[in-house]
Chains A and B, each alone.
Chain A
Amino acid sequence: MSVGAPKIPVTVAEVTEVNDLIKRFRFVRRDGGPMPPFSGGAHVVVEMDDHGTRRMNPYSLMGDPADSTGYCISVRRDEAGRGGSLYMHHHVRPGMQMVLGAPVNLFALDARAREHLLIAGGIGITPFIAQMAQLEALGGRFELHYAARNRALGAYMPALRAAYGDRVHTYFDDERQLIDLPALLAGQPLGTHLYVCGPKGMIGWVRASAEAAGWPRATVHHEEFLAPPVGVPFTVDLAASGKVITVGASQSLLEAIEAAGVEAPYLCRGGACGQCETAVLACDGHIQHNDHWLTDDQKASGTRIMPCVSRFEGRTLVLDR
């Protein structure tokens, strides 16, 4: 079960094709009431009934946090993914009824920052759109550095340029434009916080560069949702509920637990928040830890698992669930 505030029954109000890869969806409450408040950087879990398969994917809210009439998300189509983004692209139409989880923010702005340095890659722009609207309203100082593969895929660049002028810097891979990260990191006034959202490689590059440039860890923020990886099916013994379940190739362990009717806590479903952490009672085999939550020591100990993204290979896995 999702931890925290109740779920939100919504109607799909608008579906907009932004470019070849990205569609934007706007949701409003079925009862016509205001949406729960959120802050820039928050995400919601979108529940999908994909012809019998239940999918729950997290997406960053990209609307203005001051607008309580609806939520907006952008979904990048991933042909090689497990199917959530394909479902959103191919089957979600205006007027459809869906269910959203309550907003959760694992990528919040630090209000103590003197300045906010935002670095986005591709679809990683979405949380920053909400954050910039919030900063603009509160008079916060920021600059955005936004890289995309090419001009056609630089969703929202013209709109952001129009809204925020020369605080928005754009880069296109196919024009061999690269963010000059060392110079950028060296030039920021004391008290600047750094935020990065984008592909895994970019996040690693920015975090490693910031550390090498002497940025304190507490000033560097990142968000990376992991899609549960596809793998080999495996069986799991759920000791607390007395059930043995099989996790399918394209199913996550968390989804298999839920499909068996066992309640398990979750929030982000992307290996980031720590909510679904589960005790391993016995393990004869190898746990494939795919999360960002457990420490390396915890992963090596084999006593904890994050069922939203992690898998197992071997003879026996017994969980306290």
Chain B
Amino acid sequence: MTKTDFPPSIRSRPVYGELAYRPGSLHLMVADGEGANALVDLVARAGAEAPGLLARAHIIYMPGPNGTDLSAVVQALGAAQFHRSPSYASAELRLRKVLADARMGLQVYLAGTEGLIGQAQREAMAAGLPHDAVQTEHRGATVRRVQCVHCKGITENVRTDPFVCAHCGLTLFVRDHYSRRLAAFQGVNIDAEDPGKVPPLVERFT
């Protein structure tokens, strides 16, 4: 299982790279689900730098939205600090604390699904890092975090397009327009002009 290749789209749609070792005073790695394998590959590619990388690494890991849980694999890397959270929401306070205490020289590595990457990147930006100073690599599920432009509610793990907003019940078309501030794609009512004329819900994100 390697990094996900998304088809080219509009500029707004986030693109992801491949995690690579960079010198730093602290290496914060946040991953979910199959993102565990990106961390394993990062350490393997670090070569002679790997022991130093792990000695200054703080890993926060959680199962992916599809249930993939590779905690044992990540823990076996032997990072200075390893923390398993049951969910992103439960990891967020720890993430904020690490960022609040960090100094320049911190490296941030994010791996896994778009919801995890986007939300953790948002926290890094809120702590003062430029968005492009954070390394990202997509692995695993392609389900999306989507904000309804009408009620502003965010629906997690959207699988189909269109989908039904978990908050207001409108049927929403999933766009590639993305907000780094919200860490979410945009969902727009698909039957606004012809109420009730809703195309079939197609499973686009798995």
Contact = CB atoms under 8 A, between A and B. Distances in A.
Contact of B22 (A114, A187, A189, A214): A214
A192 interface: yes
A212 B23 contact: yes
B103 A190 contact: yes
Contact of A185 (B99, B105, B107, B127): B105
Nearest to B124: A190
A177 interface: no
Interface residues of A, number: 20
B42 to A, nearest CB: 15
A137 interface: no
A51 interface: no
Contacts of B102: 190
Interface in B103-141: 103-107, 127-130, 132-133
B24 interface: yes
Interface string A192-222: 1000000000000000000111111111000
Given A190-B102, A219-B133, A214 B107 contact: yes
A140 to B, nearest CB: 13
A188 interface: yes
B103 A216 contact: no
B25 interface: yes
Contacts of B100: 190
A218 B102 CA distance: 18
Contacts of A114: 128
A214 B128 contact: no
Secondary structure type dominating chain A contacts: loop
A113 interface: yes
A192 B23 CA distance: 17
B130 A186 contact: no
A217 B107 CA distance: 12
Nearest to B131: A218
B127 A190 contact: yes
Contact of A214 (B99, B106, B127): B106
A219 B132 CA distance: 10
Interface residues of B, number: 18
Given A190-B99, A190-B104, A213 B128 contact: no
A91 interface: no
B105 A191 contact: no
B105 A213 contact: yes
A22 B178 CA distance: 52
Interface string A211-239: 11111111100000000000000000000
A112 interface: yes
Interface string B14-31: 000000001111000000
B117 to A, nearest CB: 17
B104 A213 contact: yes
B132 A218 contact: yes
B103 A186 contact: yes
A188 B104 contact: yes
Contacts of A214: 22-25, 104-107
A215 B133 CA distance: 9
B25 A190 contact: no
Nearest to B24: A214
A112 B131 CA distance: 11
29 contacts: A112-B128, A112-B130, A113-B128, A114-B128, A185-B104, A185-B105, A186-B103, A186-B105, A188-B103, A188-B104, A189-B103, A190-B102, A190-B103, A190-B104, A190-B129, A191-B104, A211-B23, A213-B24, A213-B104, A214-B24, A214-B106, A215-B104, A215-B105, A216-B129, A216-B130, A216-B133, A218-B132, A219-B130, A219-B133
Interface of A: 112-114, 185-192, 211-219
